[in-house]
Amino acid sequence: MFLTALHVLIPMCLCIAMANSGMFEKVLVDLTYDHYAERKVDDLPVFLAMPFNCLINLGYTIMGLYWLLQRTYITDPSPARYMKDVFAFMAIAYGPVQWIRLASLSRAAAVLDQWFTLPIFAWVPIWCHFIINGWRPHYALTVEVLSILSYTLSLIHDQGFEIALGGHVLFAVLSGVSVQRSYGDSVSLRYLGLAMLSCCGFVVLKLLDHTLATYWMFQNLTGHFWSKVCDILQFHYSFCFLTHLTENAQKRVS
C-alpha cells in the first residue's frame, strides 16, 4: 500500500511544485467567491467560508477511504488490487486540494484543482485496458504522463483545460463501453449508466450554479454543491463498475 501511495504522491508533489513556480500565472482560473453561488459567511473561519461547498469535499476522502479498505474479490497483492488502491488514493487526495482552493483562493490551488482532475479521469481507461489486456506498466505510465502534460493546453488557450478535460471524459466513456462489451453484464451496465449520469449531473449543475441560485431550493445547497455530490457518485459508481468487471475477468481466467 505504501508503494501505491507513492504512485499518487510523487506526481502530485511535482505538480504542486510546478503550480507554485509561476509558470501558470496566465492560466484562466476563478479566484473570487463571486464565482460561486453560495454566500460567504463572514463569521466563520476561512476554511468554512462557504460551509456547504467546503464540507462536501470530505465526501471524496471518505469515499476514497471506503474503497481503499473495501474487501472485494481483488484483495490479493496483484495488479488488480493496485489499480483499485491507486484510484482510491487519488480520491483521498483530491478532497483536500479542492478544500484548500476554497479556503485560500490562491492561483496555485486553483490550478491544482483543475490539473488533478485529468490524471484521475485517465486512470479509468488505464484500468479498462488492464481488464482487457492485463497489466502493461508502460501503457499506464504513458497515459498518465500524457494526461498530466495535457494541462499545458491551458497555457495556449483560455479554454485549454476544458478541451483537455473533454478529451479525458470521452476517452473514459469509450474505454468503459469497450470493456463493458468484453466482460460486462447487466450489473456492470447499470453501474456504467449511473457513472455517466453522475458525470452529466456534475457538468450541468456546475455550469448552472448561479442560474439555479435564483430558486430558493438552490440558495444554500447550491448547484456547485450538488455538482460535487454528483462527482463523488461518479467516482463511486466508477469503482463499482471497474471492480465488478475486474472480478468478472479474473473469474473467467480462474
pLDDT at 132 over 60: yes
How confident is the model at residue 252, as a pLDDT? 74
Say if 208 falls within a structural domain: yes
Q: Measured between alpha carbons, how far is 12 from 106 in angstroms, rounded to an integer?
A: 17
Does residue 32 fall inside a structural domain?
no
The pLDDT of residue 168 is above 90: yes
CATH number reported for the structural domain that contains residue 225 in this entry:
1.20.1070
pLDDT bucket at 3, cuts 50 / 70 / 90: confident
Does any domain span residue 26?
no
pLDDT confidence bin for 72, thresholds 50/70/90: low
Could you report the per-residue pLDDT of 91-107, keeping only the tens digit for each? 999 999 999 999 999 99
Residue 73: the pLDDT is: 57
Other Cβ atoms within 10 Å of 230 Cβ, number = 19
Helices 79-104 and 2-19: crossing angle, nearest 10°? 30
Q: Is residue 152 part of a domain?
A: yes
Phi, psi of 213 (to 5 degrees): -65, -10
Please check the confidence at residue 156 and state whether its pLDDT lies above 80. yes
Q: Does residue 31 form part of some domain?
A: no
Q: Tell me the mean pLDDT in the region 29-52.
A: 93
- For residue 79, the model assigns a pLDDT of 86
Q: Give the pLDDT of residue 74.
A: 52
Closest by alpha carbon to 181, among 131, 235, 136, 228?
131
Residue 171 grid cell: 476517452
Q: Which of 8-17, 22-31, 75-84, 98-107 has the lowest mean pLDDT?
A: 75-84
Domain that holds residue 200: 2-20+38-253
Task: State how far the Cα of 209 lies from the Cα of 227, in Å rounded to an integer.
Answer: 9
Q: Tell me what pLDDT residue 80 has.
A: 87
The model carries a pTM of 0.94
Residue 83 lies in a domain: yes
* Per-residue confidence (pLDDT) for residue 253, from 0 to 100: 64
Mean pLDDT of 164-176: 97
Count of structural domains within the chain? 1
